[in-house]
Structure 1
């Protein structure tokens, strides 16, 4: 039982401390966006985000200014109450690529004047497990027509969110509970569940024998009572 407790503690320490301390890496995120609606959007290059250290959560953002055609396309998406979509391809140190698609309402992006937030979720192993686009402003999509002059360039802030450690399991209490349940079961198994006669026959039989012998040796007493 003690060995099981030690093993559980070692596993917990490895997961919650070893990985969080040792695993730190850089990633490059290639951003593409779709400036047309419909079920089959065409994604075009939007920019590149470099995160030198996921632990320090610092990012370098490179995005080009939008052309007049691209501004009109975003404005049209907003006016049509359509969706604005991004495709974020994450390239880690091991050169493994993972792609994540995120969508928001184009009118919210336009009303925020292209001021958006990119949330990068990282697990305890230092792997990016999600990229989400968020609008931090109070855009409400009330139908206001945003001027094309205000849709010139994205202003993007990147936030790296690490997976939080869950509640520490009370392994010792759980193992102690299992041990007590086992001992209680063993006690129940050793209980004497025999009937009254089975338990005390050794006392009852001699009494019966004495009574039979006594009756057989005193027939006069039986006859006198008739």
Structure 2
């Protein structure tokens, strides 16, 4: 019984973890930095800030300053050379913990989309940010079109907070029955039932056959009684 209760509690715990909704609400702040020069050791500079006021609802505020003329030229050159644009996201949670995520997209796709991008913030069941990824909002294809530098003024970013997807509820009854069956097969569980409780399904048919045979041949029974006298 102790083992059975332990397994049941463990499965219920897994069901809670994979159930699909975060347990509590909170906030998170994301500092955005980007690298505008292709390098094995990129140098990140300030891009902006995202504040998620509610992790449950995904309500957020985005602040990003316009790009300087120098940064526009760097981004245009990055796109022309078919390099990657890299974004560093520094996440500060409501409990004070900090995590860093780096993602990238083709700079030419970002330039052709007129700097319209998407920031996806994924949470685990406890509401902790586990990934921050960057994507391009439009269907840019990097066909080599020259993007006027005037279109690279400021980022227009949409933020999406993604919760864990609903998982299947574990079938605890079937699983515990399976564990009991395996334990019996290994001899780990002693069957303390009485003889009748164990083998009634074999005894009852024999009794029924005997009763039916006696009822079908009453004369034979009477002859046997007379002979005995």
Aligned to 2:9: 7
Aligned to 1:78: 79
Aligned to 1:158: 159
Deviation at 1:10, TM superposition (A): 4.2
Tell me the TM-score normalized by structure 1.
0.76
Q: Summarize deviations over 1:146-177 as a string: whole Å, max 9, x none.
A: 00011111000000001123222222112212
Alignment of 1:9-28 (within 5 A): 10-12=12-14, 14-15=16-17, 20-21=22-23, 23-28=24-29
Aligned to 1:99: 100
Tell me the TM-score normalized by structure 2.
0.75
Tell me which of the two structures has the higher relative contact order, counting C-alpha pairs closer than 8 angstroms and 6 or more residues apart: 2
Q: Give the gaps of 5 or more residues in structure 2.
A: 188-229
For residue 180 of structure 2, give the secondary structure of its aligned residue in structure 1.
Answer: helix
Alignment of 1:38-77 (within 5 A): 38-77=39-78
Aligned to 2:223: none
Q: CA–CA distance in 2 between the matches of 1:124 and 1:87?
A: 24
Does the aligned pair in 2 maintain the 1:28–1:51 contact within 8 Å?
Answer: yes
Q: CA–CA distance in 1 between the matches of 2:18 and 2:78?
A: 45
Structure 1 or 2, whichever has the larger Rg, is 1
- Residues 82 and 168 (structure 1 numbering): CA distance in 2 closer, same or farther, change over 3 Å? same
Alignment of 1:1-226 (within 5 A): 2-4=4-6, 6-8=8-10, 10-12=12-14, 14-15=16-17, 20-21=22-23, 23-186=24-187
Root-mean-square deviation over aligned CA pairs = 2.4
